[in-house]
Amino acid sequence: MYSLEQANQLLEYAAAVIKNSLDQSPYHTPDDPAFQEKRGIFVSLHKDGELRGCIGYILPYKSIVDSVREMALAAAFRDPRFPPLSIREFPAIRIEISILSELQKVNNTTDIVIGRDGLYIDHPEGSGLLLPQVALEWKWDVATFLTHLCRKAGLSDGAYKELDAKLYRFGAEIFASNETR
């Protein structure tokens, strides 16, 4: 568990990295030893209550601080679903960081808990991930969550039931800025 101070440091860091890319303003990289741990990370950007970018790593490839920097920039400028963030939009952006736990294989869908679990499907025809907060935001039950997971992966709605599908759950510690920039 990270403290409120640590959460705020990471959120401010993500915002500063994005702002630096827009206007070359300086920023400081947090040096908290806890941020050297390797974890899966997602950075989500929201504007006017709507998703504006979300990219991350499922697996712990890099340190938290390195992943936050890289994923903040990717969410702002390289999410293929959205045009690159502009300097005019930046003040209206709300940042959310999700630090993921390890993936756990799902053997029975009754083990999935809405609000606690994010889901990842690995299938020969595609893969996809939905963060734990998505099901809460959309008020989905487990069946609807699984359907949308399959759709995100470009699969048929019931693909998670297929023998060659691997379904995983994970938790996330989620930090969100309270206001826009």
pLDDT, one tens digit per residue, over 111-120 is 999 999 999 9
> Is residue 15 pLDDT above 70, yes or no?
yes
**What pLDDT, on the 0 to 100 scale, is given for residue 181?**
54
Domain spans of the chain, in order of start:
4-100, 104-170
4-100 with 104-170: one CATH topology? no
Question: CB-based contacts of 167: which residues, under 8 Å, 6+ apart?
Answer: 105, 106, 109, 119, 120, 121, 160
Contact 149, 128 (CB under 8 A): yes
**What pLDDT, on the 0 to 100 scale, is given for residue 170?**
98
**What pLDDT, on the 0 to 100 scale, is given for residue 112?**
98
pLDDT digits 0-9 by tens, 108-153 = 999 999 999 999 999 999 999 999 999 999 999 999 999 999 999 9
CATH for 4-100? 3.30.700.20
For domain 104-170, give the CATH superfamily. Hypothetical protein ph0010; domain 2 (3.30.1490.150)
The residue with tokens 């992966």 is: 153
The chain-wide mean pLDDT, for the chain, equals: 96
Record the pTM.
Answer: 0.93
Question: CB-based contacts of 178: which residues, under 8 Å, 6+ apart?
Answer: none
Q: Please state the rounded mean pLDDT for residues 24-41.
A: 96
Report the Cα–Cα distance between both ends of the chain, in Å, rounded.
25
pLDDT digits 0-9 by tens, 41-80 = 999 999 999 999 999 999 999 999 999 999 999 999 999 9
**What pLDDT, on the 0 to 100 scale, is given for residue 179?**
63
Question: CB-based contacts of 57: which residues, under 8 Å, 6+ apart?
Answer: 40, 41, 42, 67, 71
Count the neighbouring beta carbons within 10 Å of the beta carbon of residue 164: 9
